[in-house]
A and B are shown apart, each in its own frame.
Chain A
Amino acid sequence: MQKQVAGLHKNVGRASPRPASKSLLREIKKNWIAYLFILPAMVGIFAVILVPLVQAIVISFKRYYILDILREDPPFVGLANYAAILSDPQFWYSLKITVWFTFACVALTMLFGLLIAILLDQDFPGKDIVAVSVLVPWVIPRVASSILWKWIYDDQFGILNYMLSKIGLKSFASFPWLSRAGSAFWAVIIVVVWQSVPFIAVSLLAGLKTIPNEVYEAAEIDGAGFWQKTTLISIPMLRNLITILIVMSTIWDFKVFDQMFVMTEGGPAGSTMVLGIYTWMMAFGRLQMGLASALAMIMFVLVMIVTVIYLKLLMREETL
């Protein structure tokens, strides 16, 4: 019903003619009240997001060490900040682990999200309890869940090591998850995936619900089993939604900060220093705003490439 209304409205929207360039001024005058409606939101976005973005570009070309500002205006140094970043081994290391981190998080989140969505699309007694439980990791604030998992990962008294040694993995009896390079990386991935799966599962479930039952019934008559129905109907029909969710998660996970900061602060010994943390540390730890802005701009360009893909996909999906 709601969908019909939305569809109707879309047609109404499309029916209005595109303004020819000659009558542009008339179109603007006719719709002056629309500009009034969007004005406060646009002013906010301009002043607090777009203007700072331009400032960040400017700062990235300056030597902007915050303690020097009291004495002199930060001088322009051309591309020196970018050159310094690109020859900084820590940057390349951070970029590498950020890409791996993002890839692992997105792959695992999508896999578990899809499995849970398929599970919740089945009819079975007690389904509602499962559906509500699935949401719980999403509800816990990121910082709270990072602290909670730090406690779970605790080497001496953490419940994870207790459980692992209970099922026979004695070598984990006091395994220091967060103070070893490799395991700290994966430990944070687990937490991020744990928190991201609910949203993905809920979105995919909403998508699965839009597939008419008749499609499945027809496939059943043709002898399709569960596996065929999933891989030949559900996943192909949700292809666009799945792509959009992958792109969204990629952007989110690439920017990861909270969980990593609370759980490892980029450590041990810089081994989990993802770009998000490295940039922040450069700005507010070392107070090198120029270098940090150059780092942030590199992050920005990488995220924007993915964002453009996202917007292209979205525009294909629906009229704005």
Chain B
Amino acid sequence: MRNPKLGRRALLKYTVIYVAAAAVMFVSLFPFLWMISTSFKPTSETFTRIPRLIPKNPTLDNYKMVLGETMIPKYFLNSLYVAVLTTAISIIVASLGAYGFSRFRFPGRTPALIMILGVQMFPSQVIIIPLFIVMKNLALLNTHKSLLVSYTTFTLPLTVWMLKGFFDEIPRELEEAALIDGCSKLGAFTKIVLPLSLQGIVASAIFAFIGAWNEFMFAMTFINLEELKTMPVGLTSFFGRFTVEWNPLMAASVLFTIPSLIFFALVQHNLARGLVAGAVKG
């Protein structure tokens, strides 16, 4: 810093950094803060020519209204039910599959892995038409089962792939020792590999949950009974055609965001891993 030229350069560098950081933070955070702000405002402060970020008279009325007078709590619970079950089934099935792919070199392994990567990219528009017809024939339309079956399968490629990445990092020697000690393959898997990759399981579970929590197209297509709708579909049908009540709508959106906010906070550090199919390994 004693060199004046260097000092000026550092000053310039930090100016650029902080201006960029401020812009990035504003664009990332402002819409979110605006959602929260609107959810705590009375209607009179919303339809005004001079909007304020901090409500003058903050109120809980929107939340009370959303929780007490609408179907939103029901939609929320439906979403929670579907997402939690999807996650549980997906993780059980995926961890078995991922273990198979990680620990064995068997004929057909590479084609199967390529297929798993490939189906992840399928446009859901292709699958939804025949699946709709199948669900209709099985009388599964307007049941949560139709969503559970679809969501579990759609999350499998990602969860298998992520978990395989985590299992790959656990040294085999640990299981080999257990096998010598008379442990079965399944025992080695449940007693050694699973506990060691708990972090990976949590991360994959959260991605499965968020996938199911977010899903809109299948939920809209398979379900039209009010009491079975999930949050994304319920929220969109909450729109009045002509009068839009933004305040309760934003309150509902905040409630909808809370679970994924919590889960993202939990996996913050693992976010990039596995998702880019190992490409970030370097």
Contact = CB atoms under 8 A, between A and B. Distances in A.
Interface of A: 2-3, 5-6, 8-10, 12-13, 16, 19, 24, 27-28, 31, 33-38, 40-42, 44-45, 47-53, 55-56, 59, 115-116, 119, 122, 124, 126-127, 129-130, 132-145, 147-149, 151-152, 154, 156-157, 159, 162, 194, 198-199, 202-203, 205-207, 210, 226, 240-241, 244-245, 248, 251, 254-255, 257-258, 261-262, 275-276, 279-280, 283-284, 289, 292-293, 295-297, 299-300, 303-304, 306-307, 310-311, 314-315, 317-318, 320
Given A284-B221, A317-B278, 19 more contacts: A9-B169, A35-B106, A38-B96, A42-B112, A44-B156, A45-B115, A49-B127, A52-B130, A53-B130, A147-B249, A151-B34, A151-B38, A199-B271, A245-B276, A245-B279, A255-B125, A257-B216, A284-B132, A300-B122
Main secondary structure of the interface of B (DSSP, over half): helix
Contacts of A205: 272
B128 A280 contact: yes
Contacts of A34: 100, 103-104, 106, 109
A177 to B, nearest CB: 14
A143 B219 CA distance: 12
Contacts of B134: 52, 55
A6 B260 CA distance: 30
A303 to B, nearest CB: 5
B28 A147 contact: no
Contact of B171 (A5, A10, A141, A207): A5
A137 B28 contact: yes
A13 B32 contact: no
A34 B62 CA distance: 54
A130 B94 contact: no
Nearest to A247: B121
A291 B183 CA distance: 56
A292 B260 CA distance: 33
Interface string B119-141: 10111111111111110000000
Interface residues of B, number: 104
A194 B48 CA distance: 27
A280 B217 contact: yes
Interface in B150-164: 150, 152-154, 156-157, 160
B279 A314 contact: yes
B106 A3 contact: no
Given A41-B97, A320-B110, A255 B34 contact: no
Nearest to A151: B246
A7 to B, nearest CB: 9
A284 to B, nearest CB: 6
A149 B107 CA distance: 50
B253 A147 contact: yes
A124 B276 contact: no
A283 B128 contact: yes
State the 4 A-B residue pairs at the shortest beta-carbon distance, nearest first: A37-B100, A210-B282, A41-B97, A34-B104
A292 B125 CA distance: 9
Contacts of B35: 140, 144, 148, 151
Contact of A12 (B121, B153, B172): B172
Nearest to A198: B28
Nearest to A197: B28
B171 A133 contact: no
Interface string B51-68: 100000000000000000
Given A141-B257, A143-B216, A6 B96 contact: no
B114 interface: yes
